[in-house]
Amino acid sequence: MKLSTGMEKWGTAVLGVVAALLVAHLVSEYRSWQPGNSSAHAASPVVSSATTDKANSHAADDLAEYDPTVHFDALKQLDSRPLPDEARNPFEYVGEAAPLPPPPKPVPVILPPPPPPPPIKAMGYNELPGGKGEAMVSFKDDMEVVHEGDVVGEKYKVLKITPTSIEFQDAETQKTFELSFPQ
């Protein structure tokens, strides 16, 4: 929307006059804030005299115990006094030593549980012609006949077979164990 040139001039003049009035009002308010002018106090709301008397007397009572004047002579006397001679180091503790904490209770050593028994049971022994021995073992409810060097259950290698026992080696842990034949 485009205004005519005459309307623009009138609008500019009106805005200029309004701006000048606002600046004049601001200046008059600023002058009333200056110390010594009582016009700002005249506009304060009216408070009942009983309330102000009570507040003023309470404030006066609190301030009555203080002397508002500064006594420089008394300050100079206090500053001229020598400091006490302290032979004590403020960074050293002078009290009793703190009691020692009770000794810690020994923590019981918990050993790991023993490994589960192997799933092998020695069932019997047989001596073959030529002096070699063979053993009958039960592995997971299956009966097997084994000789020295055989592997039972892909994990337990037969190391030695005697008439009283059979010795195995666990392939995972490399530990050996011996099972006796029942008599």
Tens of pLDDT, residues 42-86: 444 555 555 555 556 666 677 777 777 888 898 899 888 888 777
Q: With 80 as the cut, is the pLDDT of residue 99 above it?
A: yes
Q: Is 39 left (phi over 0), alpha (psi -120 to 50) or beta?
A: alpha
What does pTM read for this prediction?
Answer: 0.39
Which top CATH class is 120-180? mainly beta
- DSSP string computed for 97-128: PPPPPPPPPPPPP-PPPPPPPPSEEEEEEEEP
Backbone angles phi, psi at 143, to 5 degrees: -90, 130
pLDDT value at position 86? 75
pLDDT value at position 18? 95
pLDDT value at position 83? 81
For β-strands 156-161 and 151-152, DSSP reports them as antiparallel
Mean pLDDT computed over 130-134: 85
Calculate the alpha carbon distances from 157 to 19, 34, 97, 154 in Å. 108, 108, 66, 8
Summarised one tens digit per residue, pLDDT across range 142-172 is 888 998 999 988 889 999 999 899 999 988 8
